[in-house]
Structures are given as C-alpha cells and as structure tokens.
Chain A
Amino acid sequence: MGSSSSTSAEGLHSVRTMETTSKNLDSIVVIGAGECGARAVAELRGRGFAGSITLIGEEAHFPYERPPLSKAALTAGADEKTPQPVTVADEARLADLEVAVQTETRVTRIDREHKVVLAARVASGEASGDRPGATAGDGIRDEFVELPYDRLLLATGARSRPLPIEGAEHALLLRTYADALRLRAGLTAGDHVVVIGAGFIGLEVAASARQRGCRVTVLELAPRALARAVPAELADMLVARHVEEGVDIRFDVNVERIDTVDDGGFVVELASGPQVPADLVVAGIGAEPNVDLAAEAGLECDNGIAVDELLQTSDPDIFAAGDCCSFPHGLYGGRRIRLESWRNAHDQAVVAAVNLLGGGESYVTVPWFWSDQYDLGLQLAGLFDDAAFTVARDRADGVSVLFGLADDGRLVASAAVGAGASVAKDVRVAEMMIGKQARPAIDQLTDPDVNLKKLLRAED
C-alpha cells in the first residue's frame, strides 16, 4: 500500500508522488465510467501501468459517449429502431486492457484512512443516478464491495441540475442513455414539447424534437440564449435558426410550476402571462458537479472537486478529472474554472493518468467544445469571459469567425457558427494560437485572405 493519506502541505505533493510511484503503486481505482474514466484506464495501460485497475460506474452500460444523447440518439432511426450507445470502450476492449469493470455499482464512501472505496450494487435496470432527489440510499441492493486503492481517480462527472420548482418531477432531464431513451420515446410527431432552458442541452433537444416533428416551445429565464459561454451574436444566430424552424422561443420567462392535467398532459405555469400546455416537458437548466463523495471524504471542493494544475486533490493519492473538478487554468491567470465538455473529459483523463503514475504534467489545454443544431455547427475555443474586445473575420462563405482579445492583445477566445463542421478549421487554428498566447495583428486576424495557419506559425 502507498504512504498514509493524511492531507499534506502543497510542497510535499511532488516528493510523495515520486516515492509512491516507484515503490507502492499496485492498484488504481477509477470512480466514474464515462468518457473520462474510460479514457483514463486506457491511458494508464498505455503508459505501462501493470498493476490492478478497477473502473466503477453506476450505469448498466459500458462507457459510452454522451454528446450524441441530445442529437443522434433522439433523431436517428425514427423508424422505431432503438439507437445503441456509442461506446468509448466496450467489454472486450476493457477485458483486453485487464481492467476490472464494476457496472451498476455506486460508491458510497471513500475511506481515506484505510485507502478503501466502499461501494454497493444498485438495482438492475437503468440506474441514472440523476433523478432529482436521488440519494446514496436509493435502489441499493444488499450487496457491498470494498476496493482497496493506492491511487484513486474521481471521474464522477456532473448531474442535471433539478428544477427548483413545484412539479419538477414532471420534467424529463437528459444526462444518461436511459434518460435519452425515455425522452426519445416521448417525442411523438405533432405533440407539444416544452423545453425549460435555452442552454446547450435545451437548444439541442429543441432541434431534435423539431426534427422528430414535434411542436416546440423553449422557455428561458435569462434575456438571451447560451448566456454563460457564447457571445450574443452567435447565440442569436442559433436562436434565429430555431425560429426559422418553427420553434417558439421566449426569453425573460420565469417558470413557476408544472401541473398535470386530467388527459395526461401538463401545464407549465409562468410567473406572468398565460400558462403553457405541454405533452412533454424537458428541463435543461445546467449541470452540477458530483462532489458528494469527495466532500464527505473531506476533500477540498470549490465549484467542483478542487484540484491543482496536476489534477491532484487535497489528498495527494486522489486525483479528479472531467466535469466533476475545478482547476486553475494557467492560460487564464490561474483562475479556477470547471468545464463540462467532451474534450475536457478526454484530455484531463490523459493528464490524470500520467500524474497518477507520478508524471507531474500540468493541464493547460485550451477549453474547446461544439454544439450541433439542425445543420448548424458551433465551435468555441477559449473563454470569452476574459476578452476585453471582440473582432470578426468575415469569410467569403458568409461565416463570421469571432476572436476575443485581452487588453494586452492576447488572443483568449474564438468561436463561429456555420453549416456542418465548416468552422472547425479556423476555430482549431485559433485554439492553437490561444495556447501559444499569441498576440496577432488585428488587421491580419480579420482579413479572410490571410491564412490563419501563417499567423499561427509566426508564433514559433
């Protein structure tokens, strides 16, 4: 077993890391079998770790990708064929990697003193772990497991934020494959679907529901869509497209309550204005990091499980990665951020694996994500919060690529909306420039005849 797990001062981390790696690292447990957990176990083997690896997940499925759940899983094969989850690593692959997988297993406690994870099997069927009001006691079967660890990775992800209103239980949430199947089954052509929240999940669900022939109303509390991360001009382009597709999208709307009606439908009551009848209500009002286990184990939490740039928690033998953790970002002045995206889950998994093995690699990847709605694709790199001003490169195809720059001229963010993945190349080059902390000349950045790759290479 590794060295004792008392919380040490910052300065001791690296020393302990080296010792533990060379002498006493026989078993690694990964809690959370999503993109992040699955990538991490594969990377651990890829880096030559020969000890035991256990991957624990609450759902019945082997690790799968979540991005399709709001898109293809809802729209594909509308001819009644049930879409299967897109696997990250299937049973055969994980067996090949000699990873012990514990599906339908919920960790109930981390005993840091004895370095043991205590877990319970959860009832068969679709364990979402995501329902409002779900607690550690829900659905637990009388079957417990104890898993000793030398090093532990928390990849516990996030859960849908429950609606803080009366009747919240009538709204479907979307986080898991089971949630997607439930929602998909409710998307009957001609029915009226009310989506609460004009964030990414809400807008993607709205687009999918329209594609399934539903009538769709989106109700958003804020004055505009995607207010948290996306510049208004791009959010407005997506909203315009929803309106074109016939979606009734309303802002500054405060939903007060969801009631059932006798014929099986619902009514959504608003703080002001007439009630909105619905055949189906979906809520997408954001996500909350799953920090309960970490917090109960006494690990530091701050809008997520707090880790340092090595993704190490306040216990040097415990790391956290993906949606569940908040980390200081070197490109943004060491500001602590938390990201909910496929890329972050994937890339942090790799860095966590390296550091679980004592690698000492800092996570400095530029934040990046995408959203697909109808035939439009948004891509966004960096953080617009940190931009003092924004400039645009207007391409010949009508796409406008936005660049956010800091006061000192440093490129800190870029984003664009276009058909399919037509904005991918430019946003990707911009992302690399952000990573290099480039200070490009504005006239060149905004000139569509200047190849962005040239500006990138000028930084070398």
Chain B
Amino acid sequence: MANWTRACDVDDVENEDVIAAVIDDVHYAIYRSPDDEYFATDGFCTHERFLLADGLVMDNIIECPKHNGRFDYTTGEGKGAPICEDLKTYPVSVEDGVVFVDLG
C-alpha cells in the first residue's frame, strides 16, 4: 500500500547531490540527479552504519563517506567491495516543489 510522505523541498537538494531526511526517526537519503530527477534510498550504507548523505554524488553513483562503498542510487545496486548488499530504494514523486517518498 502506498504511503506517500513528504521528505523535503526540491530546492533543499542541490543538483547532483544528496541530503539526509529523517522521517519518523528513520534515516533516508534523498538524491537529485544531474538531470534534476529525485531518488530516495535508505539513509545508511549497507556495509557499516554511516550516513550516505555525507557521501559524494557523481552522476548516478553515491559513495559512502567512510569506506567508499558505491551504489547506483537510482536502482540501489551495490558496486563491489566492500559492499555486499544492495541499498533499498523508494519511489519518489515531486508535486508543487515538494519531494514525496513512498515508504510503502
């Protein structure tokens, strides 16, 4: 069942960047791609518990700020060591300048 929840405003995230969003005490990461599309994933790296929002976004890749584990944030796919587990992604929609995430 869809559970669309407000995450942030579109301008809160810079182009090709990521911010943290805390919804009901759970951390998420909200991404804005180079093409100004928005994406959402779990907030913490699947390797160790570090916030991905501190990491670097280059194209469609987010890199963990600690161990450089990489994911495609559009699909959640892990891109090799030290990542063993993919990242959970969430559907996103943008309405009236607000980014909504479907937390299911």
Contact = CB atoms under 8 A, between A and B. Distances in A.
A377 B87 CA distance: 25
Interface of B: 16, 48, 50-51, 54-56, 58, 63, 65-68, 81-82
Given A420-B54, A421-B50, A428 B82 contact: no
A424 B56 contact: yes
A405 to B, nearest CB: 22
Q: Closest 5 A-B residue pairs measured CB to CB?
A: A424-B65, A421-B54, A421-B65, A428-B56, A425-B56
Contact of A421 (B16, B58, B66, B82): B66
A370 interface: yes
A457 to B, nearest CB: 9
B81 A39 contact: yes
Interface string A33-48: 0000001001100100
Interface residues of A, number: 20
A453 B16 contact: yes
B67 A342 contact: yes
Interface in A304-354: 342-343, 346, 350
B63 A428 contact: yes
Given A343-B68, A425-B65, A428-B65, A42 B81 contact: yes
Contacts of A346: 67, 81-82
Interface of A: 39, 42-43, 46, 65, 86, 88, 342-343, 346, 350, 370, 420-422, 424-425, 428-429, 453
B83 to A, nearest CB: 12
Contact of B81 (A350, A370, A420, A421): A350
Contact of A429 (B48, B50, B56, B68): B56
Contacts of A88: 82
Nearest to A39: B81
Nearest to B63: A428
A350 B82 CA distance: 11
7 contacts: A39-B81, A346-B81, A346-B82, A421-B54, A428-B55, A428-B68, A453-B16
A420 to B, nearest CB: 6
Which of B16, B56, B58, B68 has most A Cβ within 10 Å? B56
B2 to A, nearest CB: 33
Nearest to B58: A453
Contacts of A424: 54-56, 65-66
Nearest to B14: A451
B4 to A, nearest CB: 29
Nearest to A42: B81
Contacts of B81: 39, 42-43, 46, 346, 350
Contacts of B56: 424-425, 428-429
